[in-house]
Amino acid sequence: MIVDIHHLNFAYRDSEILKKIDFTVKPGELLAILGPNGVGKTTLLKCLNGMHRASAGTVMVEGVDILKMRPMEIATKIGYVSQKNEKARLTLFDAVLMGRKPHIRWRPSDRDLKIVEATIRHLHLQEMSLRFIDQLSGGELQKVCIARALVQEPKLLLLDEPTSALDLKNQVEIMLLLRHVVDYHHIGAIMTMHDLNKAMRYADSVLMLKDGKVFSHLHPSLVTEQMIESVYGLPVEIHNINGHPMIVPKDSTQNLCC
């Protein structure tokens, strides 16, 4: 197991957001966290790398409880790709190099620079390596952020809505990239998602949250219409198109808006 989450609780002020969350992620596994807005998907993600302090429970990464580690140590094991990324007047190479920060003491070593170069090449970004990131498109910037998290040499990658701001082509590219990264480097990855179809198609397992608890944790092919209706409060049909499950809201949903 790369990650083993046991009885994780998180409370903000007096309200309990997450209750007794348990799940595990294996090497080479891409897990999608699903659930309605406000259920605590991003909060759960942030509890996993200590950005939020869990009020109870443990998060074991390769057998070590990250809640007992210093932030810099956590950053050598867990890469985080935020939904909010600022553009700066920084070259793509330097932006990715920043991911080596947890490993750099004073100045980047040759090894740091080589890892950055290799990662940029693997992600086919080398043509743009000296472009400023404030000149990149949304899809390119998202790849840079994933590259930055990868050069941390993490065992676990956390991604908050990695495709939410992207067009269709970029969404597919990012999902294929994540699939490749997880398989190739044999690391674990956990992402929050709103796009159920992308999650069903590319993830190895889906974790559905409802009312701050794990509603179900299973292989995408085992997700049923009833589960989705129960979690999202919306009747849906699951159709099979070319071997891919497609979730389509039922017609009666038109009544919802009235």
Partner 1 sequence: MHLHDGQIPEEYRKYIGRKFVFLLLLCVSLLIALLFSISSGAAHISLTDVVSSLIGLETSKKIEIIVWNIRLPQAISAMVAGAGLALSGAVMQSILRNPLGSPFTLGIAHAAAFGAALGVMVLGGGIMTSNSMGAVQITNPYLTTVAAFFFSIATAAVIVAIARMRGTTPEVMVLTGVALGSFFTAATMLLQFFANDVQLAAMVFWTFGDTARASWSELAVMSIVVTITGIYFFCNSWNYNAIDAGEETAKGLGVRVERVRAVGMLLASVLTATIIGFLGIIGFAGLVVPHIVRRIIGSDNRFLLPGSFIGGALMLLTSDTVARLILAPHVLPVSVLTAFIGAPVFLILILRGGRK
- Contact yes or no for 181/189 (Cβ under 8 A): yes
CB of 185 to partner 1, least distance (A): 5
Rounded to a whole number, what is the distance in angstroms from the first to the last CA of the chain? 47
Report if residue 13 touches partner 1, rule: CB under 8 A: no
Query: What is the torsional sign of CA 124, 125, 128, 129?
Result: negative
Among 1, 7, 22, 104, binds partner 1 (CB under 8 A): 104
Those residues with Cβ within 8 angstroms of residue 69's Cβ, 6 or more apart along the chain or in another chain:
50
Footprint on residues 61-90 left by partner 1 (CB under 8 A)? 70-76, 78-86, 88-90
- Binding-site size, partner 1 (CB under 8 A): 56
CB of 135 to partner 1, least distance (A): 9
Query: What is the torsional sign of CA 121, 124, 127, 132?
Result: negative
3-class DSSP assignment, residue 178: helix
Half-sphere exposure of 21 (CA within 13 A, CB side): 32
State which residue, 129 or 216, has the beta carbon closest to partner 1: 129
**If residue 9 lies in a helix (H) or strand (E), which one and from where to where?**
strand 3-12
State which residue, 93 or 202, has the beta carbon closest to partner 1: 93
CB of 171 to partner 1, least distance (A): 21
Footprint on residues 152-211 left by partner 1 (CB under 8 A)? 152-153, 158, 160, 184-185, 187
What's the CA angle centered on 198, arms 180 and 30, to 5 degrees?
Answer: 45
Distance CA 201, CA 221 (A): 9
State which residue, 108 or 245, has the beta carbon closest to partner 1: 108
Which span sits near partner 1 by CB under 8 A: 129-137, 168-176, 198-206, 222-230?
A: 129-137
Report if residue 95 touches partner 1, rule: CB under 8 A: yes
Structure token digits, residue 91: 């070259």
Distance CA 96, CA 149 (A): 8
CB of 145 to partner 1, least distance (A): 7
State which residue, 52 or 210, has the beta carbon closest to partner 1: 52
Q: What residues line the site for partner 1 (CB under 8 A)?
A: 49, 51, 70-76, 78-86, 88-91, 93-95, 98-99, 101-102, 104, 110, 113-119, 121-122, 126, 129-130, 132, 145, 148-153, 158, 160, 184-185, 187
